[in-house]
Structure 1
Amino acid sequence: MTDTSATPSGSPLPSDELLTAVVAGFEERYGQAPTSLWAAPGRVNFIGEHTDYNDGFVLPFAIDKHTVMAVRERGDRMLRVASSFTDEQVEISLDQLAPDTISGWSAYPLGAIWAAGAFGADLERVQGIELYLVSDIPVGAGLSSSAALESVVALAVNELWGLGFDRQTLAKIGQRSENEVVGAPTGIMDQSAVLLSKPDSAVLLDCRSLDSSVVPLGLHDEELTIVVTDTRVEHEHATGGYAARRASCEKGAAVLGVTTLRDLSRDDLARAEQLLDDETFRRVRHVITENERVLELVKTLRASGAGAVGELLDASHTSMRDDFEISVPELDLAVEVARVHGAVGARMTGGGFGGSAIALIHRSRVESLREAQLAAFAAAGYVTPVVFEVTPSDGASRLPL
C-alpha cells in the first residue's frame, strides 16, 4: 500500500502565506480550528499533450505551487466546503451526494468524494467533514489547478476515513470526478502527476497500463530551470475545443480500425492520410508523433541530459500549433520569445486554447527572458503575462499542523 500521508522531503512546501491563510480562513468560516492540513501541487507537462486519453505516453512533473486544504471531522453526515476563491459555502449530506446534486466550483471537491464511493469506498460508515481551500496555482493557466483540488480532497478522505486506496487509484478517482461530475473529458495525466511526482523528476506515465516510472530531470546539475509564461488567456476543458479534439481522435481511431491512437505508429500515417479527411488526419498525426517524442525525450534525458531535449520540445509545440491547432497567438509569441532569448527549447503546455508556455533555459537567462516576455506582450497589445520559475516537486501530502 502506498503511504499517502508522508510529508514531502527535499521539496518546496507551500508558502507560509498559504498555510497562514488556510488556517485563518477555516477558523473564520467555521469558528474553530482545523484538525489536519493537506497540500497538492499543480503540474507542468514537460511533453506529451493530448496523448493521455488516447492511451499514450506523458511526462509531467509537479510544481512548487499548491492547493492547501484545512479539514475538521464532524460528528454527523454533513459535508461543508468553502474556499478563498468564492464567497459561496456549500453544505450537503453524504447521503445526498450524487453527480446531479453537485454543481459549480464545489463539483471539484465534492465530486472527488462521490467518486471515491463510486470506486467502492463504503461512504455509509463515515462521518462528514468541513474543509477550506486556498491556492496559489493560477486558475486557467494549464497548470492543473482542478486536479490539485480533486487530489487533495481524495488524499485526505482516503486517510481520514481509512479507505485504503493507493495513489494510482486516487488518480483514477480524481479523473472520474472530472469526467462524470465536472463534465470535462480529460485523461488521467493531471491527477497522476499531482499524486505520483518526486523532486527534480518527471513521471513517465503509460496511460494504457497506468504503469509509471520516475525520470530524473537533473536540472540543477546543468544549471537549467523551467520558466512558465502564463498568458492569462484562460481555457475551459469542460467546453469547446478540447472535447472536439477528443472526438476527432476517436473518429480517427474508428476509421483506422484500432481501439485508440496508441495502437498506431508512424508507419500508419500514409494509410491514415488516404482514409481520413485532412483535419482528422492532422489530429491523428499529432498524437502518433507526440507519443514518439515523449519516449525519445526520456531516452535523450537518460543518455545526454536535459540540455539535449530542446528540439523535441520545439517540435512538440509546432505539432500542437499546426496539426492539433490548440495554440493561440499569445502562446506562440511566448514560445518564439523564449527561443530568441536563449531557451534550450520551448512549447505550450496543458490542454491549449490559452494557458501557459514553458521554456527550458539556463538560470542566468531567467530575468532577461521575463523582461523580454513582458515587453513582447505589451508591444503586441496583449494582456500582461505572468512569468515565473517552477521547481519540479513532490506530490500531494499531509502537512504538519
Structure 2
Amino acid sequence: MTAAQNEITTETLAELADRVRETHKTLYGKPPEFVVAAPGRVNLIGEHVDYNDGFVLPMAIERYIVMAGSRPDDDNEAQSQFHSISMDSSCRLSSKDSPGNDPTAPGWACYVQGVLAVFEQSVRQAPALNVSFDSTVPLGGGLSSSAALEVATATLLEAATATTLDMREKALICQKAEHVYAGVPCGIMDQFSSVFGKAGELMLLDCRSQEITAVPFGSDDVVLLITNSNVKHELNGGEYAERRSQCDAALKKIGKSTWRDVCMDDVKAARDQLSEPEYKRARHVVGEIQRTTQAADAISAGRWDEVGELMYASHDSLSGDFEVSCPELDLLVDLARDIDSEGGVIGSRMTGGGFGGCTVTLVKKDSAQSLMDALMSRYKAETSIEPSCFTSRPALGAHILSAS
C-alpha cells in the first residue's frame, strides 16, 4: 500500500473528471461532449433484506465513476466504443450485442451493454458514442461499483439523447440490466442509492414500496470509515441465490406473503417446520428489518451510541445467522469493538454481500486518522494482508457534470 492509500482524503470528483476529460481527448482525438458522474454506496445497516421487502439505510459515498462521451466522426457508426481507463480495456457494444457470450469481452461489458439494451427498449434509441471512464469506487469491495457503472451509463445516455428520466425509472432500468445481462438477482438498494443520493443525508429505503425517507446525517463530528479487507473468498457459486431461496422457503413455511408481516414470535412458532438454515435466515431477516428502522430513528435523534449497538448486532447476525461474513471481516469488526468509544469508535459491521469486501465503522471525526492507522496495522499483523481505508459522508447521487 502506498502512503496515499492511507490518507483520509482521496482524489476529488473534480480532479477525477479533469483526468477523464484529458484521457478521453488523448484516446479519441477530441474532448468529450458529455461528462457524467455516479457514486458508489455504502449501507450503514439493513443487509440482505432488500430482496425480502425490508428496509435499508444506505448513502452515496464520495467515490465516483466518471464517464465521458463524444459522438464518433463517422455518422454511420452503429456501435459505441467503451474504454476503461483504470483497467486499460476496451469493448465495442450496441444494444443488440451479447458480451456475456463473447469470451474476449471484459467483465464490465455486460453491465454497460445491459443498460444500453434496456434503455433502448424502455426509452429511445441511443446514438453511437466514444466513451471513456474511470473510477475511485473500489472494485469488489461491496461498495456497488457495478451499480455505479450502470447508473453512469444511463446518465450518459440521458445527456447524449437530451432525455431526463424519472429517477425511479432510471434506477429500475439499471436493476433490470443487472438481472438480465449480468445474471445477478440484486435488490433495488444499489441502483437507488447511486441515483437518489443526497449530500448530508442517508436514505431509509422501503424496498417493498420503493419509498425513500430522508435521514439527515446531523452531526458534523461523525463520519463513516470504510475499510476494505482486500479479500474476496472464492466460493462454490450460487451462495447469493441460495440464501434468497432459503428466505423464500422459510417465508412460505411461516405462512406469510411478505416478511413485513412476520415477527420473531412467528419465526419461533414455525421452528419445527424450518430447516436449521431456514430458521437462521428467517431470524436474521426479521431482526435486521427491525434494527434498520430503529437505527434511522436513532440517527435522526442523535442517539449515536444506540446506532453503534445496532450495527454490532447486525454484524453478529450476518456472521452467525446469515453466514455471509468471513474471518477477515469478523476480525475488522472485533478490532473496532476492542478500540471502542474511548478510541472514537461508535459501531462497526460488515457491509455488502459478504464473504469479503468492506466493513463500515461509525467514528468520531477527530479520531478517524488514528483509527485508520490502528485498524490497518493490527489487521495486517494478524492476516499479513494490506487493507485500505477511507472516510466518507453522504454524497450527491448521479449527475451530469457537463454537456455540450
Q: TM-score scaled by structure 2?
A: 0.89
Deviation readout 1:296-336 (Å, 9 max, x if unpaired): 11122223444531111111011101000111111111111
Q: CA deviation at 1:367?
A: 2.2
1:112-191 pair list within 5 angstroms: 112-118=115-121, 120-123=122-125, 126-191=126-191
Match of 2:362 in 1: 360
- For residues 323-356 of structure 1, the C-alpha deviation after alignment (integer angstroms, 9 at most, x for no partner) is 0011111111111111222311111111111010
Q: Percent identity?
A: 36
Q: Which residue of 1 aligns with 2:384?
A: 382
- Cross-structure match for 2:35: 37
Pair 1:129–1:44, CA change in 2 (3 A)? same
Q: Which consecutive aligned stretches of 4+ in structure 1 deviate over 6 angstroms post-superposition? A: 235-238
Q: Note closer, same or farther for the CA distance 1:219–1:234 as it changes in structure 2 (3 Å cut).
A: farther
Partner of 2:268: 270
Residue in 2 that maps onto 1:55: 53
Q: Say whether residues 1:313 and 2:311 are aligned partners.
A: yes
In 2, Cα distance between the equivalents of 1:246 and 1:344?
Answer: 31
2:205 touches 2:212 (CA, 8 Å); kept in 1? yes
Q: What amino acid is the match of 2:209?
A: S
Letter in 2 for 1:131: V
Secondary structure of 2:231's match?
A: coil
Contact 2:42 2:352 in 1 (8 A): yes
Aligned partner of residue 232 in structure 1, secondary structure: strand
The alpha-carbon distance between structure 1 residues 93 and 360, as it changes in their structure 2 partners (threshold 3 A), is closer
1:78 equivalenced with 2:83 (yes/no): no
Spell out the pairing of 1:219-230 with structure 2 (5 A cutoff): 219-220=219-220, 223-230=221-228
C-alpha offsets along residues 143-200 of structure 1, whole Å, 9 cap, x if unaligned? Answer: 1111100001112212432444211111111111111101111111001011111111
**1:266 Cα deviation after fit:** 2.0
Q: Relative to structure 1, is the Cα distance of residues 374 and 304 closer, same or farther in structure 2, using a 3 angstrom cutoff?
A: closer
| Residue 87 in structure 1 maps to residue 88 in structure 2 | yes
2:347 partner amino acid: G
Partner of 2:6: none
In the alignment, what sits opposite 2:108? 105
Code of the aligned partner of 1:348: M
Do 1:193 and 1:395's aligned partners in 2 also have CA atoms closer than 8 Å? yes
Q: Which segment is superposed worse, 391-400 or 109-118?
A: 109-118
Matched, 1:192 2:192: yes
Tell me if structure 2 keeps the 8 A contact 1:99–1:180.
no
Q: CA deviation at 1:116?
A: 1.8
Q: CA deviation at 1:111?
A: 1.2
Cα deviation, 1:193-233, whole Å, max 9, x if unaligned, reads 1111111111111111111121101131xx11111111011
In 2 relative to 1, CA 13–195 (structure 1 residues): closer, same or farther, beyond 3 Å?
A: farther
Q: Distance in 2 between matches of 1:109 and 1:219?
A: 37
* CA shift in 2, pair 1:306/1:160, >3 Å: farther
Cα separation, 2, equivalents of 1:139 and 1:130:
23
- The answer to whether the 8 A contact 1:184-1:237 is kept is no
Q: Please report how far the alpha carbon of residue 377 of structure 1 lies from its aligned counterpart in structure 2 after TM superposition.
A: 1.5
Give aligned pairs, total: 384
Contact 2:225 2:391 in 1 (8 A): yes
Question: Relative to structure 1, is the Cα distance of residues 386 and 338 closer, same or farther in structure 2, using a 3 angstrom cutoff?
Answer: same
CA-based RMSD of the aligned residues comes to 2.2
Q: Distance in 2 between matches of 1:22 and 1:70?
A: 7
Alignment-mate amino acid for residue 292 of structure 1: Q
Q: 1:289 to 1:380 in 2, by over 3 A?
A: same
Q: Is the Cα contact below 8 Å between 2:34 and 2:160 reproduced in 1?
A: no
In structure 2, relative to structure 1, the CA distance for the partners of 1:29 and 1:238 (3 Å cut) is: farther
- What residue identity is the alignment partner of 1:392? P
Could you say which residue in structure 2 is the equivalent of 1:5? none
* CA–CA separation in structure 1 for the residues paired with 2:265 and 2:159: 47
Aligned equivalent of 2:295: 297
1:118-147: CA deviation from partner (whole Å, max 9, x where unpaired): 4x2232xx4212211100111011111111
Q: 1:239/1:24 Cα in 2 relative to 1: closer, same or farther (>3 Å)?
A: farther
**Which AA in structure 2 matches 1:25?**
T
What is residue 396 of structure 2 aligned with on the other side?
A: 394
Q: CA deviation at 1:16?
A: 4.1
CA distance 1:247–1:161, shift in 2 (3 Å): same
Cα distance in 2, alignment partners of residues 184 and 268 from structure 1: 30
C-alpha displacement of 1:238: 11
Change (3 A) 1:19 1:304: closer
Q: 1:128 to 1:17 in 2, by over 3 A?
A: same
**How far off is 1:39 after superposition?**
0.5
Tell me the TM-score normalized by structure 1. 0.90
Question: CA 1:391 to 1:246, structure 2 compared with 1: closer, same or farther past 3 Å?
Answer: same
Are the aligned partners of 1:218 and 1:306 in contact in 2 as well (CA < 8 Å)? Answer: no
**Does the residue aligned with 2:158 lie in a helix, a strand or coil?**
helix
Three-state SS of the structure 1 residue aligned to 2:332 is helix
**Contact between 1:184 and 1:239, CA under 8 Å: does it hold in 2?**
no
Rounded Cα–Cα distance in structure 2 between residues aligned with 1:117 and 1:264: 40
Contact 2:33–2:402 under 8 Å retained in 1: no
Q: Distance in 1 between matches of 2:32 and 2:159?
A: 16
Structure 2: gaps of 5 or more residues? 1-9
Amino acid at match of 2:65: T
